[in-house]
Structure 1
Amino acid sequence: MRIADVLRNKGPAVATVDPGISVSELIGELSRHNVGALVVMEEDVVVGIVTERDVVRRIHERGRDVLDARVADIMTTAIFACLPTDTVDSLAETMTERRIRHLPVIVDGRLVGIVSIGDVVKSRIGELQTERDQLESYIDHG
């Protein structure tokens, strides 16, 4: 299965934030969108990604004063992205090796979606269910 198939099933919507908002506002946005990561955009260009993990680590390192910092101060700028033509299996491998849970999908410099580890797992479970159903049908009908 390709990432384009995952996006077709989940939709292309991606929650984004501006790098200038505060970490406190970021936490509100993560909660409002019920997501674990937001893509950071500046003038329609992806400039980073910020996750719950980033927030927790910075609070641990710097204390609660980090809540007044800007997203730009805590976001990850070394972004790993994928293409709609990439396979779910290759994405799972990348996520596992790099210990990341969210990958923006970027085409020609444009953000077209985001895939989470949950999306990858859901896709894989769907594939396994389809295989199981096909095997059961084969066994039942010879």
Structure 2
Amino acid sequence: MHVSDLIRTKGADVVTVSPEDDVRTLLAVLAEHHIGATVVVDADGALAGIVSERDIVRAIARRGAAILSDAVSTIMTADVKTCTPQTHLEELSRVMTDGRFRHVPVMVDDRLAGLVSIGDVVKSRITELEVERDSLSSYIRTAST
């Protein structure tokens, strides 16, 4: 299975923020959309970074509540690992596990085309296993009659 299969199922909509937005605005966006991370895009829509709840917690631990009025660019991860729609989910899962991050932007021709979470990958794998189980059960029932 490929990332494109996930995007087709879950959709390509991605909540984004600007590097100039303050952390308080970022928190409001995360809360409003019930998400744990968002992609940071510049005024031209180009990928600038990614920021997660973990980034916020670490920034608050370092600097306290003063971070709330700082720009998102001060706490975001700028060196973002990305994937393409053609990336195999097994490869993506390995990259996410090895890198210890849970969200990967999907890029097509240097443009944001979606966002995949580790939850999306796990859900897809569970669905695959259920289909395999059902197929095997059906085979066994058919073979035993």
Relative to the length of structure 1, the TM-score reads 0.98
The CA deviation string for residues 42-74 of structure 1, in whole angstroms up to 9 with x for no partner, is: 111010001011000000011110011110111
Q: SS state of the match for residue 13, structure 2?
A: coil
Q: SS state of the match for residue 61, structure 2?
A: helix
Partner of 2:22: 22
In 2, Cα distance between equivalents of 1:125 and 1:58 = 35
Partner of 1:54: 55
In 2, Cα distance between equivalents of 1:36 and 1:115 = 12
Q: SS state of the match for residue 103, structure 1?
A: strand
User: Identity of aligned pairs, percent?
Assistant: 48
Partner of 1:11: 11
In 1, Cα distance between equivalents of 2:21 and 2:78 = 16
User: 1:14-93 to 2 correspondence within 5 Å?
Assistant: 14-42=14-42, 43-93=44-94
Partner of 1:114: 115
Aligned-residue RMSD, C-alpha: 0.6
The alignment covers a number of residue pairs equal to 142
Q: SS state of the match for residue 38, structure 2?
A: strand
In 2, Cα distance between equivalents of 1:76 and 1:94 = 16
The CA deviation string for residues 73-95 of structure 1, in whole angstroms up to 9 with x for no partner, is: 11000000001001111111000
In 2, Cα distance between equivalents of 1:11 and 1:79 = 21
